[in-house]
Structure 1
């Protein structure tokens, strides 16, 4: 339950994020209709901490005190999400999470 509660995040709890990898996968052979399949996969990484903005305000933005506070609670939670979407011609699709991993930085 403690780990699950770490994933109950607000947008402001995520203080650093970036797309790690973007890949385009294309079929070598066409399907029966002559269309080549195309999927795009994106891995996104983020660092988060519950109530990050509130903690920053309480500590007056002091980076040393902020690091000490985060370290006291196991450090930030690192989120790794991988999304996939089918971009094949005449296919309607949306982004789907196909892998996820998360961990507390100091617990590995």
Structure 2
């Protein structure tokens, strides 16, 4: 299995560090009409918030992983690596560098993302790349363990939720410094923020079988979507 970041105690392997250090430049794009299909990179469930039932389930899944599969596994280190993976992979997608995703994302996911990315408008494509400073919330939504006794394989899949907000400092300054009352400034800023909030759902997969030769994680599914588009779509349906 190709690598994004090796064991959870490590944040990145060398290839991903190289991309992170040199920063992938984002191509200039122009805005188009808002009359378009909703932003979707893969046909995955849209997950926004943590689920209390899954949070409890995740606790026991982590105990199984550290007790039987990998004693070095730590969800905090994994989450930090996942944030870095989001920034690198999203910028490669935004720059149409799909060949460079090999080793970070499964081939099946790359093919689907490539097809759907090319259907997006210029405005939608501009919202795909993510800087780590723009991530305002990240959370391990679900830790799944897939066991096959026939082949004696043990696969672990972790679904991460990321909330991304561009230029959040500008909104804070607008609320504090714009003329008028705090309440009215807050309302105005919230309306502007609505169209700049992006939710990212990423699935990370790793083979934790006893005889596994690769201990790294790979992205098996990913999606960037806009709650504002989804809300408008629901109103129209």
TM-score (norm 1): 0.78
Note the C-alpha offset of 1:57: 4.3
- Superposition pairs of residues 50-89 of structure 1, within 5 angstroms: 50-60=166-176, 64-71=187-194, 74-89=195-210
Structure with greater helix percent: 2
Query: RCO greater where, 1 or 2, for CA within 8 Å and sep 6 or more?
Result: 2
Note the C-alpha offset of 1:16: 1.1
For 1:43 and 1:66, the matched residues in 2 are separated by 31
> Paired residue for 1:27, among 109, 125, 148?
148
Note the C-alpha offset of 1:101: 1.5
TM-score (norm 2): 0.39
For 1:85 and 1:107, the matched residues in 2 are separated by 32
Structure with greater strand percent: 1
- Superposition pairs of residues 95-106 of structure 1, within 5 angstroms: 95-106=217-228
Please tell me whether the aligned partners of residues 144 and 157 of structure 2 are also in contact (alpha carbons under 8 angstroms). Answer: yes
> Paired residue for 1:13, among 121, 124, 134?
134
What stretches of structure 2 of length at least 5 have no aligned partner?
A: 1-121, 231-237
For 2:160 and 2:175, the matched residues in 1 are separated by 29
For 2:169 and 2:217, the matched residues in 1 are separated by 29
Please tell me whether the aligned partners of residues 145 and 154 of structure 2 are also in contact (alpha carbons under 8 angstroms). Answer: yes
**In structure 1, the residue corresponding to 2:166 is in which secondary structure?**
coil
Root mean square deviation of aligned Cα: 2.1
Note the C-alpha offset of 1:4: 2.4
**In structure 2, the residue corresponding to 1:69 is in which secondary structure?**
helix
What stretches of structure 1 of length at least 5 have no aligned partner?
A: 31-35
Moved over 6 A (4+): none
